[in-house]
Chains A and B, each alone.
Chain A
Amino acid sequence: MSETAAGLRIRGLRVVFDGFVAVDGVDLDVEPGDIRFLIGPNGAGKTTLVDAVTGLVKATGSARFGEQELLGRDVHRIARLGVGRTFQTAALFEELTVLQNLDIAAGAGRSPWTMLRRRGAVPDDVAYALETIGLTDRRGVLAGTLAHGQKQWLEIGMLLVQNARLLLLDEPVAGMSHEEREATGELLGRVAGDRTVVVIEHDMDFLRRFADTVTVLHAGKVLSEGTVAQVQADPKVQEVYLGHASTHDTAHDEPVAQGAEA
């Protein structure tokens, strides 16, 4: 991983669907090595923001990763600049094996000659990713037969071999058991390194445990930003998350302390 670390810098991002403003002038800076959580009520524009950065929907404004402007490029070109994402429901190639999934993720830069030949040995980066996500033993099974948690880990493994420097994860622990959440959080910590990580998540416990910083979106705008403690103390955030405002005093103290240390 010799590339210089690059951060994500979004300015005045705006996405409009048929007159409906989904993202309304968002500014966002995420530094390399940061694990930034993006939270907000349904319809706040979190996924749309990720869609805009990865080229899936058209947007105005600016989204730069390192030196490169991302907006206006094709999806696959943005991916080649080192931007990788996962989806709310794991989007794997279910009829291919774990190994084949990773090998495809690792191969966007391969020459036609390499493509037309059979894979020989397991490439080093793929073997390393298999180890990191704990699926070495399962590499020969079809991805469609993996357990829910393993599918999400495989997605993260695919981002690793893709050599993504900016990881955009859309609800990576949704539907996971407690143990799977813990394992996923630790995996995030391990892969973050000098990468830039943005996580969309609804799960507040998970957020307190593993977030470095948090951005709260509401109705397409940034409502609040800071450490977990700062955001939770923000009256505007409490207003949006009504449920939280009442339980806030008793619930947050101990988990936040954990989160700040992590």
Chain B
Amino acid sequence: MNGLKLNPRARAWLGFGLGAVVLFAAAPALLTDFRLSLLAKYLCFAIVAVGIGLAWGRGGLLTLGQGVFFGLGGYAMAMHLKLADAGEGNMPDFMELYGQLDELPAWWAPFANPVFALAATVLLPMLVAFGLGSLVFRRRVRGAYFAILSQALAAAMVILLIGQQGTTGGTNGLTDIEGFFGYDLDDPVNQRMVYFIIAGVLLALLALTRQLMHSRYGELLVAVRDSENRVRFLGYNPANVKLVAYVVAAGMAGLAGALFVPAVGIISPALIGIVPSIEFVIGVAVGGRAALLGPVLGAVAVAWAKTALSERFPGTWTYLQGAMFVLVVAFLPGGLASLWGMVKRRRETAAPLVPQADAPVLVKEAAA
């Protein structure tokens, strides 16, 4: 119980230490290789969720199309790995199979370079988000219109990928990825390494997001979410404020997509379209969009429930997921993360003699 009395900074260190122990010691010790690789996949979704938490929870941008950025990162990584698998000068196996092409398309060629491909997994989504966001936010598209627009983009991307079967693998996507920068992905040891990389990236991005949320920018982002016009009258351009959050969230989704590929061995249109994009958001909503850890826990919990329940009740999972989303939005808008605050508040009102109960709290987390 002493942890409750620590100052915010000490509590954050404690939290990160605890997270590191769970992810790096407990999980690998307790889980089978199969379960651990599933967890690696969930943690990729959690990375997307951290970005959505920033853009949606703090910035009010309902990003219903994060699959686009997840896909851009995933395809950039998969293209490199396919080229590496094929070996210098060869075409990836599926291109040979479809036989529509005589040589590698020009836009594939740069992805043979590992540095270019790695940079592209993050920068390409950020660039697309920057271009789209610049257009959209300056025209003051927001709320449901923004959500619909971002979702339409996910649909468009899927159609494009399927239509260009010869160069993108079509509906199948890019599959049978065998190596990861020289390491054989069939080897459980290397799978474990991929898991550790993903866990490390997640913790690093959590630290980055925490810094952003507690910075002056983070306060301004909440201000834009709650009263965009007021911010404008103070001399800020809200379009730029939103753009930063949107671009950062896109970069995170791209990185998550890139890490998803070695963890799962495939990237395909079905993994990045409208349905997965909505599932990302459901996880965030269930966990609690405005809290730092809410999106992570929600994403992992929902993805885990999907695996566990759809194994047993394949037909009903979709309904369960929908019901969960409706229940949370209707009765617990702050998500599961807000339960903790509710319990704490109830306890405080039950014991009104707590000293300094109404002393000013300088940096108060947005409770919702």
Contact = CB atoms under 8 A, between A and B. Distances in A.
Contacts of B232: 75-76, 79
Contacts of B230: 87, 91-93
A80 interface: yes
Interface string A55-78: 010000000000000000011100
Interface stretch (B81-89, B196-204, B215-223, B265-273): B215-223
Given A107-B220, A110-B216, A84 B368 contact: no
A21 interface: no
Given A84-B233, A162-B235, A115 B220 contact: yes
Given A93-B223, A95-B222, A97-B362, A118 B216 contact: yes
Given A100-B219, A104-B220, A93 B233 contact: no
A103 B219 contact: yes
A159 B233 CA distance: 10
Contacts of A110: 216
A54 B233 CA distance: 8
A226 interface: no
A139 B219 CA distance: 15
B360 A119 contact: no
B225 to A, nearest CB: 9
Given A95-B368, A97-B364, A142-B364, A108 B222 contact: no
Contact of B226 (A93, A117, A139): A93
B220 A79 contact: no
A33 B57 CA distance: 43
Contacts of B364: 97, 140, 142
Contacts of B183: none
A187 interface: no
B237 A95 contact: no
B244 to A, nearest CB: 9
Nearest to A122: B362
Given A93-B222, A140-B361, A116 B233 contact: no
B219 to A, nearest CB: 5
Contacts of A142: 364
Contacts of A180: none
Interface in A152-179: 158, 162
A237 B324 CA distance: 63
A74 B233 contact: no
Interface string A94-124: 1111011101110111100011111100000
B215 A75 contact: no
A19 to B, nearest CB: 24
A94 B360 CA distance: 16
A182 to B, nearest CB: 27
B216 A108 contact: no
A85 interface: yes
Nearest to A162: B234
Interface in B214-260: 214-217, 219-220, 222-223, 226-227, 229-238
A141 interface: yes
A85 B214 CA distance: 28
B19 to A, nearest CB: 21
B217 A115 contact: yes
A107 B362 contact: no
A75 B233 contact: yes
A140 B234 contact: no
B368 A103 contact: no
B219, B229, B364: most-surrounded residue (chain A CB, <10 A): B219
Contact of A116 (B215, B226, B229, B238): B215
Contacts of B219: 96, 100, 103-104, 119
B366 A95 contact: yes
Contact of A79 (B215, B223, B235): B235
B36 interface: no
Nearest to B220: A104
A22 to B, nearest CB: 19
A127 to B, nearest CB: 13
Given A75-B232, A140-B361, A140-B362, 10 more contacts: A76-B236, A91-B230, A93-B223, A93-B226, A93-B230, A96-B219, A97-B361, A115-B215, A115-B220, A137-B360
Shortest Cβ-Cβ A-B pairs, 10 listed: A140-B360, A108-B235, A79-B235, A80-B235, A93-B223, A115-B217, A75-B232, A91-B230, A76-B237, A76-B232
Interface of A: 54, 56, 74-76, 79-80, 84-85, 87, 91-97, 99-101, 103-105, 107-110, 114-119, 137-142, 158, 162
23 contacts: A56-B229, A75-B229, A75-B232, A76-B232, A76-B233, A76-B234, A76-B235, A85-B233, A93-B227, A95-B226, A95-B368, A96-B223, A96-B226, A96-B366, A97-B361, A104-B220, A107-B220, A109-B235, A115-B216, A115-B217, A116-B211, A119-B219, A140-B359
